[in-house]
Amino acid sequence: MRTMKLTLLTAALLAAQQSTAAVPVDTEIFRATITPQGVRVHQADLQAIADANGGTRAAATPGYEASRDHIRGLVESAGYYVTVQPFEFPYFEELSAAQLEQVAPVATVYPYSDVAGFLTMEYSSAGAVTSTAEGVDLQLPPAATANSSTSGCEAEDFAGFTPGNIAIIQRGTCSFLLKAQNAEAAGASGVVIFNEGQADRTEAFSGTLGEPSVSIPVVGAAFAVGEELAAEGVVARILVDAISELRSTENLIAETPGGRNDRVVVVGAHLDSVPEGPGINDNGSGSAALLEMALQLAKMGIEPVNQLRFAWWGAEEAGLYGSQAYVDSLSARDIKNIAVNLNFDMIGSPNFVRFVYDGDGSATGTAGPNGSGNIERVFLDYFTGQGLPVEATAFDGRSDYGPFIAVGIPAGGLFTGAEEIKTAEQAAIYGGTAGVPYDPCYHQACDTYANNSDEALDQMSDAAAHALYTFAMTSSSVNGTDKGSDKAQKTADALDYQGNKLRR
């Protein structure tokens, strides 16, 4: 059997070398090289890196840098052109629970909760402040219509504000960031943004400032809390213990030396974990599968028809910042030259379902850009041929395909599930346990090498290899003439390429 495989591989190599036109896309030989054992070796390496670096591989940590350097060394040795792309991203970490209290006239400690108390605003600065509370352009009682308060939205709202006081601001109309920035410019020492007060806007809320540009503590509170603090003569205290800053990290990108650079296949997975753990399923599984595919492709020695660009994204867990930085760096021509984005984020969940991104929107109502339905069809046809049922998952913006589809690049990919609960119907189809998350260790310290399904990893890495090789070797278009919202009925090889160069 081994001799036969080598003979077939030699034939495939010769066919690829002899033709620059349409190469039949037979993925069997390549898929045979992508084994779960090979992928697991890379996951073990990532686990060892996390173990040596405080149990995490989060962006901008030594564990992430070591993960990047490890993969970089391997792909450089394999002959890829490697780029490390630096970028900055906003980082926020709350080190301990914040505190909010009324010091006078009635001593009251408000609970740190999302119901009747308060929560820290993401990207709030650290700080401990005790001062007089001062309401800013409040509507009390609240207006009948939600999101109608303009409290704190204009600099004029702070006319007469006493510098050093804590600004008590009502939610509504403009961003939390603008309210906080206006308060800081007026000399506020801290900010409480409380809910607006309509029937469905009374509880504390976990908002975000969006960036670490405010240097005073900011919290979001329930309506009742804000109403109390806005009363005449109240002295309040805020304490926020957090890190809020810009940090630097990198994407790692490895390109094949050959292949059409006007029809690039970008294959991505995020390399970073959450701070809480090593992230060996999320997303050591996708990162390891990408690495194994890159190494095996190089080992086979086949020059792809279309250039392949393997990307290990940074700071996905902080908000897709790595893939966004990459897409932001592209020119209009660069964007047009990318034919496909494939995304593999979590493909070894222990209580898995085989999810395929719903490129044509037929199952979820949310379609990808023109061509995404054809990418979906490549996956669906593959799984049908293997006798493996799958389910559609929507383009919900939770992973690194998001910036690509936002600029019109066709995308697709695989997913085995995160924190959502497996249904009884899914357990009957895929096995596993109903009533339990697809990944019980999602974003936790227990997302280790042991947090894995070999079955899922085997099936999904084979499907990933099939799609990668299909789009690497096809001389046909992904986009064709189908719209992203149409049901795609054709595979990529049945379509004509209409890119920036004439078809070879």
Please report, for the chain, the start and end positions of each structural domain, with discontinuous segments joined by +: 34-80+256-494, 91-245
Per-residue pLDDT at 447 = 98
pLDDT at 393 over 80: yes
316, 376, 391, 455: the catalytic one is 316
> In which band, very low, low, confident or very high, does the pLDDT at 288 lie, cut at 50, 70 and 90?
very high
The CATH classification of domain 91-245, taken from the options 3.50.50.60, 1.10.4190.10, 3.50.30.30, 3.40.50.1370: 3.50.30.30
pLDDT at 104 over 50: yes
Higher pLDDT, 488 or 49: 49
pLDDT average, residue stretch 35-42: 98
pLDDT at 351 over 80: yes
Locus of tokens 């309040």: 236
What are the tens digits of pLDDT across the range 161-209?
Answer: 999 999 999 999 999 999 999 999 999 999 999 999 999 999 999 899 9
Locus of tokens 């990808």: 368
CATH fold of 34-80+256-494, please? Aminopeptidase (3.40.630)
Per-residue pLDDT at 206 = 84
pLDDT at 87 over 60: yes
Produce one character per residue of 49-83: b if its CB has 16 or more CB atoms within 10 Å, e if not: bbeebebbbbbbbebbbbbbeebbebbeebebebe
pLDDT average, residue stretch 380-388: 97
pLDDT average, residue stretch 340-365: 97
Quote the CA–CA distance of 490 and 492 in Å, as a whole number.
7
Using an 8 Å Cβ cutoff, are 122 and 206 in contact? yes
Alpha helices in 157-283 (DSSP H): 176-185, 223-229
pLDDT at 55 over 50: yes
Per-residue pLDDT at 13 = 39
pLDDT average, residue stretch 133-137: 97
pLDDT at 98 over 50: yes
**Catalytic-residue membership of 154:** no
What are the tens digits of pLDDT across the range 320-341?
Answer: 999 999 999 999 999 999 999 9
Quote the CA–CA distance of 214 and 206 in Å, as a whole number.
17
The pTM for the full model equals 0.83
* Average of per-residue pLDDT values in the chain: 90
pLDDT at 378 over 90: yes
Bridge partners of 244, per DSSP, are 92
Cα distances from 49 to residues 39, 45, 71, 89, 291, in angstroms, run 16, 6, 11, 23, 16
